[in-house]
Amino acid sequence: MSCKMSKRPYNPIFLYIIFALMFSRCGPRTDEPVKQPNILFIMTDDHGYQAISAYGHNLIQTPGIDRLATEGVIFRNSFVTNSICGPSRAVMLTGKHSHANGMLNNTTEFDGAQLTFPKLLRQAGYQTAIVGKWHLKSEPTGFDYWNILPGQGQYYNPDFIEMGEKKKVEGYATNVTTDIALNWLENRDLEKPFCLLLHHKAPHRTWQPDTAHLASFLKNEYPVPENFFDQYENREAAAAQKLSIRATDMDIQYDLKMQDPEGRIESRFQWMDHTSRMNEAQREVWKKHYDPITEKFLRENPEGDELYLWKYQRYMQDYLACIRSVDENVGRVLDYLDKNGLEGNTLVVYTSDQGFYLGEHGWFDKRFMYEESFRTPLLMRLPNGYDKRGAINQLVQNIDYSATFLDMAGIQVPREMHGLSMKNLLSGEETPWRDALYYHYYEFPNEHMVKKHYGIRTDRYKLIHFYDDIDVWELYDLEHDPKEMNNLIDLPEYAASVDELKLRLTKLQEEYGDTSVEIKRAID
């Protein structure tokens, strides 16, 4: 924010007042990093990087989120450690891989007694708050204020649990979550720095858009990913999944809202009523939008490839409409910071708890170590004193968030945390950095039937081991096969690379303390 003085005759008292106003609104001009910057950590659920225009894709324009890239930095190689909602959140809070924080899958309960970055920030004098999606089963700890969605939360007129008290709030979840967060910012203790976790439900399944955006993408035709009709040759685990748009895994009624009271649409979710939480006005707009789409679907009755392509288009229209609301609300929050003179001393982070498939390999959902779910968006607007702008290309992971926030706040990063502080990267300094990432997914069996697996990723290669009821290795050369269609594990010319990657994988397992019986097979 710039502060300008108008030209006036010399007057010491007048000048004193002007300078006082300048420093009260803008803060001192300094090249030194802010000692205790405010931290605003915005996270969505299942937002694929492909659906952010700053990443160079044309599925949707996201001017609100893109502001973080144009005014700050965009991470080109940002990844998760375990691509599933609850475990990913536990990783971000603790800075530790799933095996170390105990949250292996969505069925377990997060141990709130363990060390988290909000607790350490609070001890250092920060006001801490979380608003929106929590999804860790236990109550939040380490926060001065919390107001969370129970479980997955609802899109329309959602329930919130505010400091233990459950309340129903009228409105659309993305807007309501932002309203609550801005209200907290407006009424916080102005004498303390703040750390606010603003965590949206959207765009999580079942992709229910706001009534204001139901038709925003209805006339759009989206390019089908070139591997949409993937047949999964030499990829046994990929063939066994249950997250296919080209199967009943994506349900016509549950996912695509083709609700037919006469029962003409075959569905596993005949009981599902997407309007059950809506008021009369919301329900009327909803039905006015979806009823004609349903009737047209029944008339045309697409089958085979035609049906699969229809499902893909419907999926994309609703998914992107949910993101439209997210983007608008990110813009609202940035406008609030700017209007209140907070942009110079606030770190703003935007990410998702993991990536998401938008038709690649014929899929929706996440879980696999393949790129679309392994990668996650990460953009930041930096406080004063951090000079980096534009792209950051180092391999970063969600274990790094805790260490970064603590380091920027001047707090020593606990040795038990696995992550690296990105502070020097944000300062534009040369700094030693990792050249490989470790991943481990545990939730099997479940609805989507993605096998347990772990692996390593470098700049060029990815090695994955699927285990438990299966024992299969996969190798991908990302330089020549970025879509991960060709498993090279059995090719003699890659044998030396496989041996080297297995050795490095074992060293990462030892470094992070992931030494379960299953893991030891990596060094066989």
Q: State the average pLDDT over residues 18-38.
A: 58
* Predicted local distance difference test score (pLDDT) of residue 519: 52
**DSSP one-letter string for 27-94:** ----SSPPSS-EEEEEEESS--GGG-GGGT--S---HHHHHHHHHSEEESSEE-SS-SHHHHHHHHHH
| 490 DSSP 8-state letter | T
Is residue 33 predicted with pLDDT exceeding 90? no
Tell me which of 21-30, 280-289, 435-444, 486-495 is least confident.
Answer: 21-30
Is residue 281 predicted with pLDDT exceeding 50? yes
Is residue 188 predicted with pLDDT exceeding 70? yes
Q: Kindly report the number of other CB atoms within 10 A of residue 170's CB atom.
A: 10
Q: Name the 3-class secondary structure at 214.
A: coil
List C-alpha distances in Å: 240 to 127, 236, 237, 450, 481: 47, 6, 5, 7, 22
Is residue 432 predicted with pLDDT exceeding 90? yes
Angstrom distance (rounded) from CA 126 to CA 117: 11
Domain locations in the chain?
Answer: 12-207+316-431, 241-315, 440-523
Is residue 194 predicted with pLDDT exceeding 90? yes
* Predicted local distance difference test score (pLDDT) of residue 24: 36
Is residue 516 predicted with pLDDT exceeding 50? yes
* Predicted local distance difference test score (pLDDT) of residue 341: 97
Q: Name the 3-class secondary structure at 295.
A: helix
Q: State the average pLDDT over residues 366-376.
A: 98
When pLDDT is cut at 50, 70 and 90, the band that residue 14 belongs to is very low
Contact call for residues 91 and 97 (beta carbons, < 8 A) = yes
Contact call for residues 51 and 59 (beta carbons, < 8 A) = yes
When pLDDT is cut at 50, 70 and 90, the band that residue 272 belongs to is confident
Is residue 35 predicted with pLDDT exceeding 70? yes
Q: State the average pLDDT over residues 281-297.
A: 97
When pLDDT is cut at 50, 70 and 90, the band that residue 518 belongs to is low
* Predicted local distance difference test score (pLDDT) of residue 177: 98
Asked if the domains at 12-207+316-431 and 440-523 fall in one CATH topology, the answer is no
Superfamily of domain 12-207+316-431: Alkaline Phosphatase, subunit A (3.40.720.10)
Contact call for residues 46 and 80 (beta carbons, < 8 A) = no
* Three-state DSSP string of 149-203: ECCCCCCECCEEEECCEEEECCCEHHHHHHHHHHHHHHCCCCCCCEEEEEECCCC
Angstrom distance (rounded) from CA 295 to CA 510: 57
Is residue 342 predicted with pLDDT exceeding 50? yes
Pick the CATH number of 440-523 from 3.30.1120.10, 1.10.645.10, 3.50.50.60, 3.40.1170.60: 3.30.1120.10
List C-alpha distances in Å: 449 to 97, 242, 315, 336, 342: 22, 6, 21, 43, 46
- The whole-model pTM stands at 0.93
Please give the residue that has the higher pLDDT: either 25 or 335: 335
First to last CA, the chain: 58
Q: Name the 3-class secondary structure at 457.
A: strand
* Predicted local distance difference test score (pLDDT) of residue 9: 37
Is residue 23 predicted with pLDDT exceeding 70? no
When pLDDT is cut at 50, 70 and 90, the band that residue 175 belongs to is very high
Is residue 387 predicted with pLDDT exceeding 80? yes
Q: State the average pLDDT over residues 287-310.
A: 97
